[in-house]
Structure 1
Amino acid sequence: MKMKTTIMLGAVAILTACASPKKLVATGGSRADGTVKMSYEYGLFETPQVNTLQGAATAKQRCAAWGYKEAEPFGGATKKCINSSSSGCNRWMVTIEYQCTGTPIASR
């Protein structure tokens, strides 16, 4: 009986720790500074698989709406705990900041 319980717990742990596709979404930024913040969230037993090409394309679209030509990541990411319990953090938000590049078109 004990062996069966151990196997079941192991199977649950493996299934919940599977790769989890994540989409970067715009969560902030500044038109004046030409920056866009793109973020995704993941939980304790998730292994996030992030589509960085999708994130860069979305940041570029946001920059284009502001009159810039391109968007480039600053490099690196910030990871912030957004849900903690007595045993520690169990949900994080990861943010990548992009710089809009190219001379912006003047507002009319």
Structure 2
Amino acid sequence: MLRTASIAVILSVFFSGCAVTKVPQPTGGSKADGTVHLSYEYGSFEQPTVDEEAALRKAQQRCQAWGYDDADAFGGAVEQCQQSNQYGCTRYFVTMTYQCMD
């Protein structure tokens, strides 16, 4: 009985995933359009939490390097499957867009 309970606990932890903090990194954008793309990856068993403050700082740094004063998040993100198997997607790539502002 105890062994069955232990296995159930282990399986529930395994399938619930691990919470991980992600800091998106600059992956593109356009100086002329004043947009910055920040991205991060995560696996199917991870539960990502985005460090929004760090992401905004990175976008602001990129915008300031281009001569803009500040940056603001557009809101939302685009998530793409990067790797899959017979059970579905196993690796995701997420891109967030920020607008540079004067």
Q: Distance in 1 between matches of 2:49 and 2:93?
A: 14
Aligned AA for 2:20? S
Report the secondary structure of 1:62's partner residue: helix
Q: Distance in 2 between matches of 1:9 and 1:85?
A: 25
Report the secondary structure of 2:82's partner residue: strand
CA gap of 1:3–1:44, structure 2 versus 1, over 3 A, is farther
Report the secondary structure of 1:76's partner residue: coil
User: Would you say 1:34 and 2:34 are equivalent positions?
Assistant: yes
Match of 1:4 in 2: 3
Q: Distance in 2 between matches of 1:84 and 1:5?
A: 31
TM-score normalised by length of structure 1: 0.83
Query: Any gaps of 5 or more consecutive residues in structure 2?
Result: none
Q: Distance in 2 between matches of 1:11 and 1:36?
A: 41
* Number of aligned residue pairs: 101
CA positional deviation for 1:82: 0.6
CA positional deviation for 1:20: 0.8
TM-score normalised by length of structure 2: 0.87
**Based on CA coordinates, which of the two structures has the bigger radius of gyration?**
1
Percent identity over paired residues:
45
Aligned positions of 1:7-86 closer than 5 A: 7-8=6-7, 10-11=9-10, 13-15=12-14, 17-86=17-86
